[in-house]
Amino acid sequence: MENRSFDHMLGGLKALNPDIDGLNGDESNPDTTGAKVTVSSDADYQGQLNDDPGHHYPDVDLQIFNGDTSPARTPNMQGFVRAYFQKTGKVPSSRDIMKYFAPGQLPVLTTLAQRYAVFTRWFSSIPGPTLCNRAFAHFGTSFGHTDMSVNYVGKPIPSIYQRMQAAGHTAKLYYYNQSSSTLGLTFLLKNQPELFGLFKQFQQDCEMGRLPQYSFLEPNYKDGDDLANDQHPDNDVRAGDNFIGTVYNLIRQSPKWENTALLIVYDEHGGLYDHVSPPNLPPDHVDGNTDSQTGFQFDRLGVRVPAVLVSPWVEAGTVVKDRIFEHASIPATVTNFFIDPNYATRTQREAKAETFLDLLSRDTARPDAFHFGLGDAAHALTGMRRETIPMTQPGPGNPDRPISTLLYEHIHHIHQVEMTLPPEHQTGIDIAKIQTVAQAGEYIDKVTALLHPVAAAGGAQ
Amino acid sequence: MKRRAAVGVLGTLLAGVPAFGDSEASRLADSCGQFKILPCATTLFTDHPFHIAVGSLSPGNGFAAGPALTFAHHTVPHHIPGPGGDTITHWRFGWDIDGVASSNRSWRAGLYLTARYTREKPTVVLPGAGTPGAASDLRQMSTVITGYVQTESLNQLSYYGIGQNTSRSNLAYFGMTQTIAGSHADVPLWTPINLRLFGEANARIIHLRSGVPGTVPSIEQIYTPATAPGLGDHKSYGQFAQGLSMTPDFGRLGLNYQVAFKEYAGSSATFTRMSFDLNHEFLLYGKSVPEPPRSFNGPDACARTETNLSCPPVTSSRNLKGSIGVRLLLMESFVPSGNTVPIYFMPTLGGADINGDTYLASYADYRFRAPNLMLFRVSFEHAVGNLPLGMIFTYDQGKVAATRDQLGFDHLAHSFSAGLTLRAGGLPVLSIMFAVGGNEGSHVISQVSPSLLGGGSRPSLY
């Protein structure tokens, strides 16, 4: 999922379970007038973050250190409102960055967090944007990038999918639709169509009990036939919560439920407030990369993000609070479990990352069962009524709204890839004229069709 | 006074129309100024609020074109407080107004309203794992109500008599004007298989007239009301329909079942009709990029979402699937003693019927006509490379019957056909088919769908 901080999504759970390191309600940031802005549980599903909060390295640096650039600085998480003011230019709207969701607003995510395992120390890998953070989930490193570069072709560290294949295992990337396939996956587009599938195939594979040993599922990044459900500001958060619920239902109803663990995690915090300072990494976790643009040495983590582990082998109500996880924990866990705990062709960072399969600690699978459905409280079955957590459904999307920073940067990077194609195979679209979500979607669709005809036709079998 | 009221209604309607101004003019200039055929055609024939409506009228009446206006507006969401959260309701109204005419002076004019009501229910936690493939999807369906007023004047319709054993030499022509005003409601019942209940009520005024003078005799020259029921003066009918439809998706196998029961109450005849239409589609590759009709679109709209009226781009609307289809269609009429089914409400086989649906394509249009019908079809459809083209092969067997007990599997007429379809970017589906079979030679059928790709259909003419 995209661009939401832990406190923004799950911080309200502390009121229900003090073990969950969320919000007390008195956390605050100063605004640009010096006034204190306290967190408040009145986040809106859509419309409150029309200006995409900054989440590139300089933005995140400001959010974490509040402008302190001294060598001895320490994170204080006091620069979020100030950073958002740089985007909105308005003091009142800059304060919206402190808003968070009450648990009842996100019934699926908060229910799963309370009934399975929630991580309260899962951090994005880099204090930066989407793609470099996603690279850690795929490779265990971003190869020194802190930006939105899409060029991960021919790197010395194999992706987790390549590792699985080489070891005789199965792995697949399911993207929601055609245009979802380009986000962070350009390194795979041309060469490995066998690793791709569409969400519809994911549904079928769940129902038939034939999911590969490792699956990575991409949400929908733009309004189209279906609403964008990635939860990136300012896409409707309800659509994303429903998407998580749909995925959970599919896995819960799969004949392979007892052989499956589902990790729900967000790539980065998206510029939204979180009160926990990201930690520095121990020296033996650092690979020695230095980003030439920012000087960042990959020796500390990004802002905390929501992460929930769902499995019948997890004890209900587990709160993982004393161990630090980040996105390199994903390939580390998969590689250790399926391939070899001593697998060599990976970064020091990944090799030292925490893994989470030990949380599947039960001797027997949990017998309890629940799923998500549509209705109202009166329709919930007797005996479950008290557990009903209603949430309104998302309204119609608006593809005519301006593109987010994510889409803006993404189409520019996709354009770079397009320019590597022969002129006769290029779209000829002037990306400077792309203004709306619909136009961006059309452009991405066209480039994807050119890059990867198999994906355009519906995915590999 | 009436004129003032009419102007007032029109003014109210147009108040919701996005201004036709620089934006639409500039889109036209951008797309047609560089002599690029497809972008120019897309703008001319699919842009909004104004575009050129094109499409085939009923077989024999040519290809028609004319102006179309399409726009949509939404109501303010209504919040209904509930325990723990609101249920939100809202309406989307889509309007389509068009008028087209063809070279043989046939024409059609209509106003179509598509109202979609969405009730956004809350998400709830339920006990148990749920049913695989059933309770997994948390999206919801909407109720769709359409309203329409349409007049269609057709100057050349063919009549060969009633039943399967008529002769081609008995061909006669007639003309017909039919005005329909009514409403259709489609209510969701069960999401997992997309089970829906639908109902329809409309009034029809029908006027039959002589065929255009020529080498083929006019209908009244060789038929009487006894051999061509309904022949005569103006007729008016009330038509009511109820039915169920479902479109469950079993991976590569998709079903589209519809059962309908229709009552016709007229000034000169009353009867009822039961129909079963069972479509099965098996995707050869398990992959498809279809552009199905959107429930919120009228016939002049090809929007992919409720809020964006733009048509899909050509690249994402290609028909890339390979599929095998099997269809079973059965219509049976129940006619009380002393009543008859008029010829204009009888289904037909042969070429294409009055709605433009092709059945037994190798035979002449409207070749077999009777109150009862059965059809069995196998089809194969496949994309042609990366083009927005599809090739289609069909094999039909079918018959019509004056009485229900005459339906059966004996003496079925059959037809093979092969053709190409063009589906692109919301443009009307263009098809050309060559068909052979039976003992009446071959038939070439070329058609342009009267609705945009992804758009809703028009009311049935029978």
Percent of chain B residues topping a pLDDT of 90:
52
> Does the structure show a pLDDT above 90 at B288?
no
Q: What does the pLDDT look like over A305-323, one tens digit per residue? A: 999 999 999 999 999 999 9
Mean pLDDT across A55-72: 95
B141, pLDDT greater than 60: yes
- A298 torsion bin: left (phi>0), alpha (psi -120 to 50), beta (else): left
Beta carbons of A461 and B129 less than 8 Å apart: no
Question: What are the chain B neighbours of A384 within 8 Å (beta carbons)?
Answer: 125-127
| C-alpha to C-alpha distance for A143 and A287, rounded to whole angstroms | 10
Question: What does the pLDDT read at residue A119?
Answer: 98
Shortest CA gap A412–chain B (Å) = 20
Which of A391, A427, A437 is the mutation pick for testing B, counting most B CBs within 10 A? A391
Q: Is pLDDT above 60 for B198?
A: yes
The confidence band for A242, taking pLDDT boundaries of 50, 70 and 90, is confident
Confidence of residue A8 (pLDDT cuts 50, 70, 90): very high
CA distance A384 to chain B (A): 7
The percentage of chain A sitting over the pLDDT mark of 70, rounded to a whole number, equals: 86
Q: CA torsion B186→B191→B194→B195, rounded to 10°?
A: -60
**Using the beta-carbon criterion (under 8 Å), do A456 and B82 form an inter-chain contact?**
no
User: Do B253 and B281 contact (CB within 8 A), yes or no?
Assistant: yes
- In the prediction, which pLDDT does A63 show? 98
More confident residue, B305 or A447: A447
Lowest mean pLDDT among A376-380, B251-255, B309-313: A376-380
Contact between residue A1 and residue A183 where contact means Cβ atoms under 8 Å apart: no
In one-letter notation, the amino acid at residue A421 is: L
> Is residue B78 very low, low, confident or very high in pLDDT (cuts 50, 70, 90)?
confident
The reported pLDDT for the residue numbered B290 is 45
Report pLDDT digits (tens) over B405-415.
Answer: 999 999 999 99
Separation of alpha carbons B143 and B145, rounded Å: 7
| Other CB atoms within 10 A of residue B34 CB | 9
Whether the pLDDT of residue B155 is over 90: the answer is yes
Arithmetic mean of pLDDT over chain A: 85
Q: Is the pLDDT of residue A392 over 50?
A: no
Residue B135's pLDDT is what? 46
Out of A257, A377, A445, closest to residue B84 by CB? A377
Contact yes or no for A376 and B90 at CB 8 A: no
Give Cα B284 to chain centroid, integer Å. 26
User: Which position has the higher pLDDT, B14 or A137?
Assistant: A137
* pLDDT for residue B305: 62
Specify the pLDDT at position B336: 93
pLDDT at residue B185, as a whole number: 94
Q: Which residues on B lie below 8 Å from A250 (Cβ)? A: 136
**Amino acid (one-letter) located at A304:** R
Give the pLDDT of residue B207. Answer: 93
Which residues on B lie below 8 Å from A245 (Cβ)?
123, 138
Residues 6+ apart with CB under 8 A from B68: B50, B51, B52, B53, B96, B97, B98, B300
Cα distance between residue A390 and residue A344, in whole Å: 48
Q: State how far the alpha carbon of B88 is from the alpha carbons of A243, B80, B188, B200, B307, in Å.
A: 19, 6, 17, 27, 17
Which among B92, B123, B289 is the nearest to A391, CB-wise? B123
Query: In this predicted model, which residue has the larger pLDDT, A17 or B295?
Result: A17
Looking at the predicted structure, is the pLDDT value of residue B320 above 60?
Answer: no
Tell me which chain B residues have a C-beta less than 8 angstroms from the C-beta of A394.
Answer: 120
Please write the tens of the pLDDT for every residue from A256-280: 999 999 999 999 999 999 999 999 9
DSSP string, A249-301: HHHHTSTTGGG--EEEE-S--TT----SPPPBPPGGG------TTT---S-B-
Which residue on chain B is closest to A398 by alpha carbon?
B307
Higher pLDDT, B31 or A344: A344
Nearest to B454 by CA among B284, B294, B240: B294
Q: Are A151 and A142 in contact (CB under 8 A)?
A: no
Reported as a pLDDT band with limits 50, 70 and 90, residue A428 is confident
What structural domains does chain A harbor?
A: 7-98 (no CATH), 103-377 (3.40.720), 405-456 (no CATH)
List chain B domain ranges.
2-122+137-448
Bridge partner list, B146: B114, B184
Taking CA atoms, B359 is separated from B192, B380, B447, in Å, by 31, 15, 14
Looking at residue B248, what is its pLDDT? 78
Of the spans A104-113, A121-130, B90-99, which averages the highest pLDDT?
A: A121-130
Indicate the pLDDT class of residue B113, thresholds 50, 70 and 90.
very high
Average pLDDT over residues B246-270: 85
Tell me if A13 sits within 8 A of A118, measured CB to CB: yes
Give yes or no for residue B364 having a pLDDT over 90. Answer: yes
User: What does the pLDDT read at residue B354?
Assistant: 96
Q: Judging by DSSP bridges, how do beta strands B270-283 and B253-266 pair with one another?
A: antiparallel
Say yes or no to pLDDT of B18 above 60: no
Task: Residue A35: count other Cβ atoms within 10 Å of its Cβ.
Answer: 12
- How remote is the C-alpha of B57 from its chain's centroid? 12
Q: What's the pLDDT at B13? A: 45
Over range A389-413, report the average pLDDT: 61
- Cβ atoms of A455 and A178 within 8 Å: the answer is yes
> Length of chain B in residues, anyone?
462
Report the topology of domain B2-122+137-448. Porin (2.40.160)
B276: burial class by Cβ within 10 Å (0-12, 13-18, 19+)? Answer: middle
Neighbours of A424 (CB within 10 A): 6
pLDDT digits (tens, 9 = 90+) for B421-461: 887 766 777 889 999 998 899 999 998 888 887 778 899 99
C-alpha angle with apex B138: B135 to B141, nearest 5 degrees?
100
Comparing A25-34, A109-118, A422-431, B225-234, which segment has the lowest mean pLDDT?
A422-431
Is the pLDDT at A387 greater than 80? The verdict is no
Confidence class of residue A415 from pLDDT cuts 50, 70 and 90?
confident
Longest pairwise C-alpha distance within chain A: 64
pLDDT of residue A446: 78
Alpha carbon of residue B37 to chain centroid: 27
Q: How far apart are CA A293 and CA A395, in angstroms?
A: 41
Residue A445: pLDDT band (50, 70, 90) is confident
CB A279 within 8 A of CB A301: yes
CA-based nearest residue to A242, from B276, B145, B135, B50:
B135
The confidence score (pLDDT) of residue B11 equals 42
* A377: amino acid identity, one letter: A
Q: Which H or E run includes A406?
A: helix A405-418
Residue B455 pLDDT: 79
| Chain A residues in contact with B121 (beta carbon < 8 A) | 374-376, 393
Q: What is the DSSP string of B204-255?
A: EEEEEEEPPSSSSPBHHHH--TTTSTT-SS-EEEEEEEEEEEE--EETTEEE
Q: Is A364 exposed, middle or buried (0-12, 13-18, 19+ CB in 10 A)?
A: exposed
The answer to whether A37 and A82 have CB atoms below 8 angstroms apart is no
Taking alpha carbons only, the member of A170, A226, A236 closest to residue A197 is A170
Local structure of residue A57 (DSSP, 8 states): H
Q: What percentage of chain B exceeds 70 in pLDDT? A: 83
- pLDDT score for A180: 66
Do the bridges between strand A214-218 and strand A171-175 make them parallel or antiparallel, or are there none, so unpaired? parallel
Of A261-270, A370-379, A407-416, B351-360, the one with minimum mean pLDDT is: A370-379
Averaged confidence pLDDT in chain B = 84
- What's the ipTM? 0.74
Counting one residue from A and one from B, how many pairs have CB atoms under 8 Å apart? 199
Indicate which of A393, A439, A452 best probes the interface with B, i.e. most B CBs within 10 Å of its own CB.
A393
